[in-house]
Amino acid sequence: MLTLKYIRENTEEVIRRLAVKHFDGSVIIAKIIELDDKRKAIQLQLDNNLAEQNRIAKEIGKLFSEGKSAEANAAKAKSAELKELSKNLSQELKEVEEEQTKLLLQVPNLPHESVPQGVSASDNVVVRSGGSVPKLHEEALPHWDLASKYNIIDFELGVKITGSGFPVYRGKGAKLQRALINFFLDYNTAAGYEEVEPPHMVNEDSAYATGQLPDKDGQMYHVTADGFYMIPTAEVPVTNIYRDVILHAAILPIKLTAYTPCFRREAGSYGKDVRGLNRLHQFDKVEIVQIQHPDRSYETLEEMVNHVEGLLMKLELPYRIVKLCGGDMSFTSALTYDFEVFSAAQHKWLEVSSVSNFESFQANRMMLRFKEEGDKKAQLAHTLNGSSLALPRIVAALLENNQTPHGIKIPKALQPYCGFDKIDL
């Protein structure tokens, strides 16, 4: 959430930068400022009213002690009127603040100045690429056919048990999932990330704090009886560990990693582009989260990008890193790099990770602050996160790119985790 101070002091800049995300902020920003003026006026009137109440309260006792009962009773009547007025002003102030907050929650984060102009994924900018696209044999299959051939993923059984987008992993398919999770976690902890195991459901406050609500309300599974939400990513519970916390600057950065299943409704997802593992309602992902000093967050973003790139190198997958344009960015991000791997059997690039800097946007929502040594005033921290990695499309690319007429080869880095070097009949 943008701060009121920044909006008021940089109104034209805010509107200009929001336009990069194709968000017309002129009307809503004007309304937020109008409400802030109203809030300040009500607060001033309320403060003056309360001060007058206190003055009269002291005067009443003095008047009674001096035997001026009539004047004292008149003062008491005046005090009662002021109390009623203060009550009404307090209620009006609360309503204005709630309306203002509701509008603030609808305003996206400002994109970084380096974010490219653009409308969709076709306008994203390729930063660099690596790995080699394999040449497959003539009878090469897409991963959904490989999954059936080797009996490692059962999509139809998932439909029977739950519905479309909930596959069942079997045998070496299940072991491959577990191997990837453990490999990713070990790689992250070796880089200094503390492993945590968070809840897979969060309350409404947590969902608002990281920006999933109200923006992604329709895409989240909602447990209505308890008001909980199934997490769309480990970013939500992990970042909320530090909601309403003031940290010492000396302990920054805080580096956390977590494996969780992730749940996304993905309403309206149909067709060949979402077939198989390309888009699921439930999938496994390992996440990295950092809480950093504002002066160092963009340096940290580059470090996180390099970290995820190292994982893809170890998996021996052809990849590219793209900087997202304004029209393809998330509601909460200030700058995002996507990682894509090439699917040789599908002949297309598949997104497998997003690494983002949210600057102080999430921290302001969750009141995540830090203090420098000797400072009395706390500052908002910066939050960052990245997929390290999301499994479904990684598995799709591993199966497709490593297939041979005699089975599917497992990359060397994964073999100790799998306990086998090939998936075959």
Query: In this structure, what DSSP letter does residue 116 have?
Result: P
Does the structure show a pLDDT above 90 at 1? yes
Q: Read out DSSP for 358-401?
A: -TTHHHHHHT-EEE-TT-SS-EE-EEEEEEEEEHHHHHHHHHHH
Q: Please tell me the least confidently modeled range out of 47-56, 196-205, 282-291, 329-338.
A: 47-56
d(CA 311, CA 293): 26
Instruction: Show the tokens assigned to 332.
Output: 């909460």
Report angle CA 377, 358, 289 to the nearest 5 degrees.
95
Phi, psi of 370 (to 5 degrees): -140, 160
> What percentage of the chain reaches a pLDDT higher than 70?
98
Specify the higher pLDDT residue, 73 or 141. Answer: 141
Instruction: Show the tokens assigned to 104.
Output: 């603030």
Long-range residue pairs from 296-301, CB within 8 A, at least 24 positions apart, any chain = 296/252, 296/253, 297/357, 297/359, 297/382, 297/384, 298/112, 298/335, 298/357, 300/253, 300/357, 300/384, 301/335, 301/337, 301/355, 301/356, 301/357, 301/384
From the list 360, 312, 320, the residue with the least C-alpha distance to 337 is 320
pLDDT number for residue 52: 92
Q: Please tell me the least confidently modeled range out of 78-87, 143-152, 174-183.
A: 78-87
Does the structure show a pLDDT above 80 at 246? yes
Pick the CATH number of 121-423 from 3.30.930.10, 1.10.357.10, 3.40.1360.10, 3.30.465.10: 3.30.930.10
Q: Do domains 4-104 and 121-423 have the same CATH topology?
A: no
pLDDT number for residue 352: 97
Phi, psi of 44 (to 5 degrees): -65, -45
Instruction: Show the tokens assigned to 280.
Output: 């699921």
Instruction: Show the tokens assigned to 377.
Output: 């005033």
Residue 33 pLDDT grade (very low, low, confident, very high; cuts 50, 70, 90): very high
Domain spans, the chain? 4-104, 121-423
| Cα first-last separation, the chain | 53
Instruction: Show the tokens assigned to 370.
Output: 């830090």
Does the structure show a pLDDT above 90 at 76? no
d(CA 346, CA 273): 9
- Summarised one tens digit per residue, pLDDT across range 136-151 is 999 999 999 999 999 9
Residue 19 pLDDT grade (very low, low, confident, very high; cuts 50, 70, 90): very high
| Residue given tokens 């200030």 in the structure block | 334
d(CA 253, CA 258): 17
Pick the CATH number of 4-104 from 1.10.287, 1.10.3470, 1.10.3210, 1.10.10: 1.10.287
Phi, psi of 387 (to 5 degrees): -80, 130
From the list 391, 390, 408, the residue with the least C-alpha distance to 142 is 408
Instruction: Show the tokens assigned to 233.
Output: 């990513």
pTM, 2 dp: 0.93
Residue 271 pLDDT grade (very low, low, confident, very high; cuts 50, 70, 90): low
Query: In this structure, what DSSP letter does residue 279 have?
Result: S
Task: Identify whether the C-beta of residue 382 lies closer than 8 Å to the C-beta of residue 292.
Answer: yes
- Summarised one tens digit per residue, pLDDT across range 306-323 is 999 999 999 999 999 999
Residue 66 pLDDT grade (very low, low, confident, very high; cuts 50, 70, 90): confident
pLDDT number for residue 267: 57
Instruction: Show the tokens assigned to 222.
Output: 């909602």
Instruction: Show the tokens assigned to 53.
Output: 């109440």
